[in-house]
Amino acid sequence: MKTPLVPILLMALAQPVQAETNGKSAEALVEQGLKAGARFPGLSDICDLSRPLLTAGRRPQGAGQSQRRELSAEERARRAVAAVVEPRQVFDNLYFVGVRGVASWVIKTSEGLIVVDALNNDEESRERIEGGLRTLGLDPKDIRYLIITHAHGDHYGGQKYLVDTYAPKVLMSEEDWQELEKPELQFSNPRWGAPPKRDVSVSDGDTITLGDTTVQLYVTPGHTPGTVSLIFPVADKGEQHMVALWGGTGLNFGPNEARMRAYSQSAGRFRDIAAKEGVDVFMSNHPTRDGALDNLALLAERGANDPHPFVAGEQALGAFDLLRDCSLAQAESIKAGDRTPKPLLDMDKTRKGPPPRKVAGPCRSWSSQKLAESDT
């Protein structure tokens, strides 16, 4: 196991660490990051220095209740239909069984299946993961591992159905197991299923090998204290590629300079590891982040000689350059006093009447116009 750098990164969550800017201003870092990550526009809001940095689930003072309205049953049904994304084989050994807002990826090996993230709740897990696997000709009984990238309910919420039905080993970092064992969860949402019961703790640099496939696991603090990011091999018609899956994207923890620097350090370190491993595919656990929705559509129309839409070559590393540089720019902006937090409304305390569904989960952040999905 390769663990020596993780304690250093975790310490950054408790005290400021001076990340290397090479004399660049926050604005120059943003320009550099956006240029490097131009292939992945879904990451660009990480670079927005004008956006208030809020803790998920809260709004700035004055945001107003008038912006919120109750949805009709018809509109809820329409949105539920719009969220559906058909399951699809993406590589010879990798499958998408998620929804529009959050991904679940399935790695097929010679000795069973590895599922990465369990969606929001048991209903989604049953319909999208179990049902999707069957649609794709795979047997859910072959699920051996469930890797949960971080301790937010849109990634663990459907785990109970999978665990009760198929009994996979559940993997998460020790830091995020501890997050879920606290008396009160940092984030909650009535849409999410129950947190998992403690099972396997992942340390930085651990690997899991199932049959012919080895998955590398790295603890990348930032989005949560113990976010796990993955590197693993895939094949396209027998041609080998390497995937780097970033385990948590959104800046949902307010103007916290130390945590921004930890995020930047994690992205930079993971970028270097990905480069050494020959990574040419960038993936996320939110399909709007990595362009997966567009790529799935392109894949459906792919000709026999067309390039694979998910394979980005050296541009895949540009995603991590963007994440590193733009989170560092955010930290520098906070340090300069440019991101003074606005007064917050705790929506649970100020709301009148019965509490409707929360408007922001852990993978959402406030923009000047609206609450927009931004994780992950």
CATH number, domain with residue 289: 3.60.15.10
Edge-to-edge, what's the strand order for the sheet holding 169-173?
88-91, 94-96, 105-109, 112-116, 143-147, 169-173, 200-202
161 found inside a domain: yes
Question: What is the residue range of 105's domain?
Answer: 6-64+84-373
Q: What is the pTM of this model?
A: 0.84
Per-residue pLDDT of the chain (376 residues; tens, 9 = 90+): 443 444 444 444 444 444 577 889 999 999 999 999 999 999 999 999 998 998 875 544 444 444 556 767 777 666 666 678 999 999 999 999 999 999 999 999 999 999 999 999 999 999 999 999 999 999 999 999 999 999 999 999 999 999 999 999 999 999 999 999 998 887 788 899 999 999 999 999 999 999 999 999 999 999 999 999 999 999 999 999 999 999 999 999 999 999 999 999 999 999 999 999 999 999 999 999 999 999 999 999 999 999 999 999 999 999 999 999 999 999 999 999 977 654 433 334 433 344 433 333 444 332 323 323 446 3
Distances (CA, A) of 42 to 114, 147, 176: 26, 24, 25
Lookup: tokens for 278: 């020959």
100 found inside a domain: yes
pLDDT of residue 338: 75
346 found inside a domain: yes
79 found inside a domain: no
Q: Nearest Cα to 171, choosing from 193, 149, 191, 141?
A: 149
- Number of separate domains in the chain: 1
List, for residues 25-50, the tens digit of each pLDDT value.
999 999 999 999 999 999 999 999 99
**Residue 91 backbone dihedrals phi, psi, to 5 degrees:** -130, 175
187 found inside a domain: yes
Q: Are 300 and 306 in contact (CB under 8 A)?
A: no
